[in-house]
Structure 1
């Protein structure tokens, strides 16, 4: 993993957390963070999923998706409950980038759901 790749993901984490908070997502409550992985080889992707599980993430079942060009790709999510804390997200990102690079699968960032603040 390159330092540039790491810096880009850390910037993504910062910008995403800032946008969620600016939009009013409740930063005092844990959010379900879904980190995304994809790859062409199911067996290789499965090994990455096992490593993500060993690293403390809940791992969803792999799915097969059809691409616009007619090809297929396999993907899974590694899920964890986290506050919108950039340092925690950066630590997760580092762990998962290492796993993605080890297995030569694609790490595709993360997403979460907006959590309404109590009225």
Structure 2
């Protein structure tokens, strides 16, 4: 899938996620922890430069290694932000470009329900 296709798909998914959260009663004015998921079959050494670049872009980084017959290295690039589609689109754009540059996968983003109580 091309960079343009990924960005277009993610914009649609972002708006869907935000709409679902708000429909369920999540607080529209809360700060949300946005976790962008990236993965690769790279080695730690190869992924280290990606993690460093994500950190330099302002993201907190959490690494995870999955072993189920094949090796997959995953990490989340995390940032707190308001629930604003344009702002999240900007984060997605930076991380999709980073993923494309290093030939790894951008696997979307997620967050958690925030109560307004």
| TM-score of the two chains, using structure 2 as the length reference | 0.92
Match of 1:18 in 2: 19
For the 8 Å contact 1:38–1:45, the answer to whether it is kept is no
Matched pairs, number: 115
Instruction: Measure, in 2, the Cα distance between the counterparts of 1:18 and 1:96.
Output: 22
Q: CA RMSD in A?
A: 1.1
Secondary structure of the structure 2 residue equivalent to 1:56: coil
Match of 1:83 in 2: 82
| 1:1-119 equivalent positions in 2, closer than 5 A | 1-41=2-42, 42-60=44-62, 62-67=63-68, 70-118=69-117
Q: Where does the alignment leave 5 or more consecutive residues of structure 2 unmatched?
A: none
Instruction: Measure, in 1, the Cα distance between the counterparts of 2:20 and 2:115.
Output: 14
How many Å apart are 1:64 and its aligned residue? 1.2
